[in-house]
Amino acid sequence: MSGWLAAIAARIGGRTASSIALPPGARVERDLVYGSDPAQRVDLYRPAEPVAAPLIVIVGGGAWSQGDKAAPATVSNKLAHWLPVGRAVASVGYRRLPQAGPAEQARDVARALAFLQRRLVDDGSSPRDVVLLGHSSGAHLVALLAADLSAAAIDGVEPWCASILIDTAALDVVGLMRGPHLPLHDKVFGSSEAGWREVSPLHRLRGVPAPMLLVHSSRRPLAGEQARQFAAAAIDLGGHAEVLPVDLSHADLNAGLGSEPDYTAGVDAFIHAIVAGRDAAAPSAA
């Protein structure tokens, strides 16, 4: 990986020396084990007063090759925003290149999600009470799960509430690889079109996906084009999809969620609307 790209990946997903301060009364269960590999761990942040569903499950990016589930850019502002209102947050660690390619990385995310859903059931909640949120390459992995729930179910995943995909240009991997692209993408996706299709969320999309919000930087035309294309395909299958362009950089869309007021309000509005719609559709007690 070139030096400049490594620096971007490190900023998106790498750990820094900064400590993560939790709100008063909040606590973290760190490195919960969902698989045998040391990378297959989840951090679960619990609020002092858990009063708001759903659980936010973060899948950080890092160019499929770098990243840390505890990176401040990935979790700090999100924790500062959601924990005080009683919403729990989890951050997923998973294997990266060269140990695991994108398809196996997506399966790691599925295994982590299934683990967290079982924890929700143990706590008396519904396994559906999850919003799966990914940024950059992490958004690509979330999109792969969202595109084909039957494949995710192999690893024990049950349907979840909603997905939030933040600024990925890898929703149509075939289109990405046929056009001008970074050398990084050759390393990640290889040269086979059949292989591209296997890890292309647009080409894996089947059935009605969970409601989704696709956030993209208005400074990244390709990410915007792919977000609109994927949203239209999901809607054509009967799904609910919204696209939110934001005038922030790729990295700031990650770090700024929870601190950038208009952007954060847009994400919160989507979550609140989905939860309200789900609650309204639930049968009332006799």
CATH code linked to domain 3-279: 3.40.50.1820
- pLDDT at residue 20 in the model: 82
Percent of the chain with pLDDT over 70: 91
249 closest CA partner among 230, 263, 265: 263
- pLDDT at residue 19 in the model: 66
Question: Which alpha helices (H) appear in 123-242, and where do they start and end?
Answer: 137-147, 149-152, 173-178, 183-189, 193-198, 201-204, 221-236
> How high does pLDDT run on average in the chain?
92
Mean pLDDT is lowest, of 121-130, 203-212, 262-271, 273-282, for: 273-282
Give the C-alpha separation, 118 to 76, whole Å. 25
Mean pLDDT is lowest, of 6-20, 229-243, 256-270, for: 6-20
For 57-80, what is the mean pLDDT? Answer: 97
- pLDDT at residue 285 in the model: 38
Helix 3-13 and helix 72-82, axial crossing angle in degrees, nearest 10: 20
Give the C-alpha separation, 142 to 166, whole Å. 10
**182-221: pLDDT as tens digits:** 999 999 999 999 999 999 999 999 999 999 999 999 999 9
**122-176: pLDDT as tens digits:** 999 999 999 999 999 999 999 999 999 999 999 999 999 999 999 999 999 999 9
pLDDT at residue 16 is higher than 60? no
Residue 262 tokens, joined: 């208009």
